[in-house]
Amino acid sequence: MNMLKRVISVVLGICLLLSMTACGATGNTQNQSTEPSQAPEPEAEQTETAATEAKKPVLLVVSFGTSYNETRDATIGAIEADLQAAYPEYEVRRAFTSQIIIDILKEREGLEIDNVTEAMERLVADGVRDVVIQPTHVMPGYEYSDIVEEVSEYTSKFDSLTISNPLLISDEDYDAVVASLVEETAQYNTEGTAIVFMGHGTEHEANAAYERLQKRLNAAGYSNYFVGTVEGTPTVEDVLEGVRASEAQRVVLLPLMIVAGDHANNDMAGDEEDSWKTIFSNAGFEVECVLKGMGEYAGIRELLVSHARAAMEGQKDVILVVSFGTSYYETRKNTIDAIEQDIRAAYPDYEVRRAFTAQTIINILEKRDGYSIENVTQALERMVQEGVKNVILQPTHVMTGYEYDDMVAEASKFEGKFDSLKISRPVLVEDADYEALVSVLAEETEAYNADGTAVVFMGHGTEHEANATYTKLQAQFHLAGYRNYYIGTVEATPSVEDVLEAVKATDASKVVLLPLMIVAGDHANNDMAGDEEDSWKTIFTQAGYEVECVLRGMGSYSGVRQMILDHLSDTIN
């Protein structure tokens, strides 16, 4: 429409000029006072519209950049398009951090792309008041640090200026990237094939992201996936050694970069003797190169869109879900993850975060899997630094024992550092909690509740006075009529010997063992269901019982998750 008005304006101007020329020849000046007043109106409307549009909030997408047109459109262009579709109220603009690429594109094609400083100056000149910066960089390395440094100088020139996160920051980011990489390479994931991702690499400490991603792939069961770098570690030699040990015959090479640019086309897929394709070919592998940048992956774009959303929404109140923790991936996913997901769904106005109380487990996960999980003190310290105002701690512990007491003690050190800091209760505190848990456990084990079967729950046990919880729960089972249900503990009373004696007093011939713990972790897999001579399975088997072990943590029970949600609701309200 603006273009049409511009054309009309030009035509009217030409007509006016011809009319004025004609009038000069005849001496008629009548049209000089009427025609000109009609022409400026479209231009005035266009100027007003442009000024209005310029004041829209701006989402500045900052990429390293690439001089390869096809991959730029398929990756950076696709990211920008997804962001524009997700946030139509924002104007999406582009900036590159690589001045070399900016200069190449300008000289070769006349394509002008702002660097970060130029983009910020333009925003100021256009009168923009609210800006969100969304980097497309893989990690917070030197490029990201430079963005932050450049942009920080403009903080006072806007009503709001927010810098979003690059691709890999949180544990959730790593999980999302692993899921996307695996999904996008599913067709290559066959026996005898190694899938190798080539990242850039850096001397910045952020280079640790590559090792962390490798550990996350391994922890998720993808032992034939490998991550290496061009200019950092792991090197191509490191990856080659790992691939050889895997006994793969075929290697598929892909860039672990947003674009498939110079590094992908030359360092990875080139014919030079030091390219990754040549190195793996010379080592005897069949090699296939996939020139597809990660910006083409829908999952990667979705992650960046979610980062932009978080930046736009600003700092939310936080629900910190505090669990003992487990080093067992599958049960963590089915229990702790499930609890956190239910809380997110129930309270979308809150940001849900995670902390573990078992430092030993935190250390194992960091070293073995690249999972960085905070303890309670670390989680609260980070919230103070980020300016979080309101915090709720929701424990997933079964009872108010030592772990719960320690959590309360740690949290008490932060009194006065938040507008509000609330601590919710664990699973079993009030009488109604015991009644609810018995109902849930009976429902979840209904398939095993038959004549001649003893249903035995194994709890942890503690020297804390809260150990009375187990006796109280046992009484509640009997009160509810479940006299073939038994409660024991690994490290306290009732002991396995106490439970065995009670079961022997019945006519049961079969025993079903289940953990009375949020997760089915080390105790469940070893102390309960292990083959060692002191495991509960062995003890009941040697006593002449048919034994079935159910490795399912209570966090996988929807009823237990609902109890935790109810406790959280009480605390919030």
Sheet holding 317-323, edge to edge: 350-356, 317-323, 390-395, 420-423
Contact 116, 152 (CB under 8 A): no
- What the block records as the tokens of 511 is 């025993």
Bridge partners of 130? Answer: 160
Among residues 267, 139, 142, the alpha carbon closest in space to that of 213 is found at 139
545 to 447, 459, 529, 550: CA distances (angstroms): 18, 20, 14, 16
Among residues 349, 348, 346, 341, the alpha carbon closest in space to that of 321 is found at 341
249 to 16, 190, 271, 281: CA distances (angstroms): 78, 11, 20, 10
Distance CA 424, CA 488 (A): 26
Does 200 participate in catalysis according to the annotation?
Answer: yes
Only one residue has tokens 């079969």, namely: 510
Q: Is the peptide bond before 515 cis (omega within 30 degrees of 0)?
A: no
Hey, what amino acid is at 135?
P
Distance CA 121, CA 126 (A): 9
Three-state secondary structure call for residue 407: helix
Q: What angle do CA 283, 286, 289 make, to 5 degrees?
A: 105
Distance CA 522, CA 244 (A): 33
Distance CA 140, CA 504 (A): 61
The one catalytic residue in 137, 200, 460, 523 is 200
In this structure, the chain runs to a length of 573
Query: Residues with catalytic annotation?
Result: 200
